[in-house]
Amino acid sequence: MSNAKTATQVAENKIYTYDLLDDDRYLLAQVDGQKVLLDTGCPWTLKMPGGPEVLNLLGQPIRLRHSSLSRSFMEEGFDLLNVDFTALVGMDRIGRIAWTFNRKTHTAVATTGVPDEDGVSWVPLDALNGPPICKLDDGSEAIVDTGAHYSYCIGSVPRTAKVVGEFKDWNILWGAVHSPLWEYRAKIGGQSFLVRFGRLPAKAESVLAWMGTGWIIGADLLRQFRVTMDFPGGQMGLRPNSE
């Protein structure tokens, strides 16, 4: 795949298009010749071990923040997940613009405006105080985390969920996570989608439950929908990938 394409200007709307790598687990993009994780679950943009000091993103060079985590801790995560990337782009950069993630065309498109479009289900999206939060149709609040392979259920597991395997993940905050892997069909904006989820350590669950969080939704949405996150507009749009 090619590197990030040159930004263009269309009717006063800046458009930046980046190629997505063919990885069904993580939102990895080619940005400025680097393999980058686009992670709405992380508040900061970080340099990974061996990564660049500066990254050209959204038409400007940005100096990457050095992670306070040890190199050995980060490499433990890379080894466990069988993934590597040289930079992590978090909400401090992602949250300034609208993004459309399209697995079908393998593109991530960032724009300064979102055009009206038929056939898209729009739901409110709150990203003012950190990771983006939306509501599922059952009323539970969900953090949308594009950096997570699987989803997480906080609190009681839905009665209709079934165990389908073993959950193994690694998180920049909690390290290695192991639990059963459940499967559950949820709804958002009237759209049904399949969630494959595990459980967090008890301490992490208690913090998120105290915040009112019911779910962390990972790559499940990105696999099943073309997802638009309009952060300035406070809305998220879903169109099934089959369309």
Q: Quick one: which H or E segment has residue 8?
A: strand 8-10
Residue 129 pLDDT class (50, 70, 90 cuts)? confident
CATH number for the domain spanning 105: value is: 2.40.70.10
**Range(s) of the domain holding residue 193:** 121-240
pLDDT tens readout for residues 3-17:
333 333 344 689 999
Q: Which single residue is written with the structure tokens 């399949």?
A: 194
Q: Quick one: which H or E segment has residue 165?
A: strand 162-171
On the CB side of 236, CA atoms within 13 Å amount to 25
Residue scoring higher pLDDT (83 or 179): 179
The yes-or-no verdict on residue 227 having pLDDT over 60 is yes
Q: Both 98 and 152 in a single domain?
A: no
Q: Both 158 and 54 in a single domain?
A: no
Q: Both 87 and 173 in a single domain?
A: no
Q: Both 71 and 163 in a single domain?
A: no
Q: Both 127 and 230 in a single domain?
A: yes
Domain boundary among 111, 133, 148: 111
Q: Both 132 and 212 in a single domain?
A: yes
Residue 109's CB: how many other CB atoms inside 10 A?
16
pTM of the full structure: 0.88
Q: Both 18 and 103 in a single domain?
A: yes
Q: Both 105 and 125 in a single domain?
A: no
Say if residues 109 and 116 touch (Cβ distance below 8 Å).
Answer: no
Domain boundary among 111, 143, 178: 111
Q: Which of 31, 39, 40 is nearest to 1 (CA)?
A: 31
Distance of CA 204 to the CA centre of its chain: 19
